[in-house]
Amino acid sequence: MKVLSPDGEKLDLFTVNIGPSHPATHGALRSFVALDGEEIIASVGEIGYLHRGFEKMVERGTFNQVLPYTDRLNYCSAIMNNVGFCKAAESMFEAEIPERATTLRVLLCELTRVIDHLVCVAAAMNDCGAQTAYFYFYNPREVVYAIWEKLSGARLTNSFSRIGGLYRDTYEGFEDDVKNAIAECEHGLLEGLSMIEHNRIFIDRTRDVGKISAEQALTWGWTGPCLRASGVNRDLRKDEPYFGYETYDFETVIGTTGDTYDRLICRVYESLESLKICRQALARLKPGPVNSDDPRLRLPPHEATYHDMEALIANFKLVYEGIRPPAGEHFDSIEAVNGELGFFIVSDGSGKPYKIKVRPPCLTQYAAFHEVIEGGMISDAIISLSSINIIAGELDR
């Protein structure tokens, strides 16, 4: 298409679709760009290629039946989504969760954060052509997957958390496995970091590429490592602590320029901080129950139903109707891998959710994406996209 630029130059722009089926678009995303040679003059984005109707599907079952759907939101870090939803539902009940459950949740969430950051950086390396780095970052995930498999039965979509606690307690040998996994992840991260942190080619590819300032990021609603890379100190674990995060010793990693280099390196350092938290959580694990004994959330012990009328009624109602949060609307969020993952739960007092809206961190990042890439080249756009870690399951729900 022929255009006249603001400084009076006649340009013949070439329009091309990047996506929705493209190796570097990490799922189904589409950017429609107008190019002058290799430079992107204007671009518009389109999403919805993986819209699977999360909100409509969860209205059909009970609150605990929402958990498999939450798994598949940010599928690289399934346990984090489970825990986020459980936190939101439990805060509606204002229920007490036992200490072992919260410690395990912290441990599993941080390990999940590490493996998600690993896959993000691995894919980013693959996108800028460094295939070796892809394998170095990707392989530690298999060790963690082995743990997930033994713990919950599934490698990727675990559905491990429950409203009121966890699916089950850990298996024998869990602590040794986790220690090994932490060591493997740290080794993989440090090795990969040594390959890229001061690598001239990587710096040339990613420095000053896809820059976004702190003010722009806030107006676009960015959260998570992408916002922190722009220099904004905002981490829900520190600012609005939950699950005892205020008692763990870790640092928030902040960048300075908000470019792709900052976003990717921040993720690696953040993973190292998460491993610190994992070690502390592992040291604190004490034997105890992993589920709350709040009768609104958990079935009473089976023996009690034979002689106690209240236990029998509670059992009946919980099985038939599911758990019933008090009627009302509530929003709660956690610091998920990409940012603030929130759940806006509307409950009408029955066992079926009336509405559950997911506040996806990826949506804010991708909404700004078309502005971020304008002025750069196509390969810059690709690597910027990898650095903001768009997971289509979360973006489109």
Partner 1 sequence: MTTATQGQTGSQAQGPATHQDAHAGNSGFLATNIDALINWGRSNSLWPYPYATACCGIEFMSAASSRFDLARFASEFFRFTPRSADLLLVMGTITYKQAPILRRIWEQMAEPKWVIAVGACACSGGFYDCYCTVPGIDEIVPVDVYIAGCPPRPEGYMEALMLLQEKIKDESYMEQRRQGLHQKVYIG
Partner 2 sequence: MSHDQIQNLGPWAEAAVPASLSDRKEAQNRLFPILAEKFGATLDPLDRWGLTAVVAKERLRETIFFLRDDPQWSFEVLVDITAVDYLQWPGHEGARFAVVYNLRSQSHVAHRMRVKVWADEEDLDVPSIHDIWKIANWQERETWDQYGIRFVGHPNLKRLLNHHEFVGHPLRKDYPAQRRQKLSMNDPMVDQLEARLRTLGYQLLDSVPESSPMVEDVLKGGR
Interaction with partner 1 in 72-101: which residues (CB under 8 A)? Answer: 72, 75-76
Nearer to partner 1, 119 or 121 (CB): 119
Residue 167 interacts with partner 1 (CB under 8 A): yes or no: no
- Tell me which DSSP letter residue 285 carries: -
Q: In what helix (H) or strand (E) does residue 164 lie, and over which residues does it extend? A: none
Give the CA count within 13 Å in the CB-facing half-sphere of 392: 17
The binder of partner 1 chosen from 57, 190, 367, 378 (CB under 8 A): 57
297-318 per-residue burial string, b: 16 or more CB within 10 A, e: under 16: bbebeeeebeeeeebeebbeeb
Residue from 23, 37, 53, 173 touching partner 2 (CB under 8 A): that is 53
Q: Choose which of 84, 165, 224, 342 interacts with partner 2 (CB under 8 A).
A: 342
Q: For residue 284, give the 3-state DSSP assignment.
A: helix
CA distances from 64 to 159, 221, 324, 331 (A): 10, 30, 10, 17
| 247 is a site residue for partner 2 (CB under 8 A) | no
Kindly state the tokens that stand for 96: 């007490």
Q: Of partner 1, partner 2, none, which one does residue 309 interact with (CB within 5 to 8 Å by kind)?
A: none
CB atoms within 10 A of CB 200: 7
Instruction: Choose the stretch contacting partner 2; rule: CB under 8 A; options: 118-126, 175-183, 349-357, 386-394.
Output: 349-357
238 interacts with, out of partner 1, partner 2, none, CB within 5 to 8 A per kind = partner 2
- Kindly state the DSSP code that residue 377 receives in the 8-state scheme: B
CA distance 123 to 242: 31
Write b or e for each residue in 149-177: b if 16 or more Cβ atoms lie within 10 A of its Cβ, otherwise e.
eebbeeeebbbbbbbbbbbebbeeebeeb
Is 238 a binder of partner 2 (CB under 8 A)? yes
- Scan residues 112-141 and list those touching partner 2 (CB under 8 A): none
Residue 200's binding partner among partner 2, partner 1, none (Cβ under 5 to 8 angstroms by kind) is none
Among partner 2, partner 1, none, partner that 145 touches (CB below 5 to 8 angstroms by kind): partner 1
Q: Which stretch binds partner 2 (CB under 8 A): 107-115, 139-147, 184-192, 341-349?
A: 341-349
Could you say which of partner 1, partner 2, none residue 138 binds, taking C-beta under 5 to 8 angstroms by partner kind?
A: partner 1
Question: H/E element holding 205?
Answer: helix 200-206
Q: Which of 119, 264, 281, 383 binds partner 1 (CB under 8 A)?
A: 119
- Give the start-end residues of each E strand in 59-102: none
Residues that bind partner 1 (CB under 8 A): 20-23, 27-28, 48-53, 56-57, 68-69, 72, 75-76, 119, 135, 138-139, 141-142, 145, 155-157, 392-393
